[in-house]
Structures are given as structure tokens and as C-alpha cells.
Amino acid sequence: MKRIPNEQCAAICGLFCGACPSYPEECHGCLSDYVREGCRECKNGFRDCVKAHNVSHCYACPEFPCERLDAFSKGPIINGICNHANVIPDSRRMAEIGIAQWIAEQLTRHTCPKCGELISWFDMGSHACK
């Protein structure tokens, strides 16, 4: 059965975990109970930061957008694509419309209209239906 991204796929930092190449085999979103190691460790410090500021997501922090998030939004670049580039505008959008509606928008944006498959960040410009 195909796993549909839910609110656990709205990452603390503003990423859409449903577009991650690790979803759903290795991870169900960074706020789920099944998180890939790299995100569970959160080397960027977002998990610790939201706890320290007593918020659930970066957009809810009084310091948003901070230097940490700004730096995160600039890399890494893989195959010419920075999948972190939209974390600040996407976080603002989450705050504006709510997480459930934001997930619906991301599903529309990342679902191939022909085959219905989720398209990962790195395949957005080059997806080919199987």
C-alpha cells in the first residue's frame, strides 16, 4: 500500500519530507516515529532549537527566520538542486495556511499528474513516468 504523506512530513525546518528520496522506505517524516538517521540526529540543531524555544516548527519561533535557517536554506546542492532553498518561504506559507493545507499543496506540487507518483526534490525537473 502506498504511504501518503501526512502532517508528520511538515519538517520542523520547513522541508516537505514527502519529497525526500528516503520517503517512505527509510523515513516517514522527521516528526514521525520512523525517521532516517541523518534527520533523527538533526546536525543543524533544529530539533534542539525548537525545544529550547518551546515551539513545534521554526516558523513559530520569535527569532524566525534565524541565521541557522538562512544558512540551511543555501545548501547542499545535489545534481544542481538545493532542496533546502524554499524552507523560509515554505515555513511562512505553513504559518499562513496551516500544516494540513500546506501538506495538500505540497502533494499537488510533488505528484506527477500522469502517473500519480510522488516526485522527489531532485527529480522535479526531470521526472519521467515509468
The answer as to whether 84 is a domain residue is yes
Q: Give me the domain span that covers residue 40.
A: 7-123
1 in a domain, yes or no? no
- Alpha carbons 20 and 63: distance in angstroms, whole number: 27
Tally of domains in the chain: 1
Q: Kindly report the pTM of this predicted structure.
A: 0.89
Q: What nine digits make up the cell of 53?
A: 524555544
Locus of grid cell 502517473: 115
Buried b (16+ CB within 10 A) or exposed e, 88-114: bebbebbbeeebeebbeebbeebbeee
DSSP 85: T
In angstroms, the first-to-last Cα distance of the chain is 18
Residue 129 lies in a domain: no
CB 125 within 8 A of CB 34: no
How would you write the pLDDT of the chain (130 residues) with one tens digit per residue?
Answer: 477 889 999 999 999 999 998 999 999 988 889 999 888 888 899 999 999 999 999 999 999 999 999 999 998 888 788 889 999 999 999 999 999 999 999 999 999 999 988 888 888 778 888 6
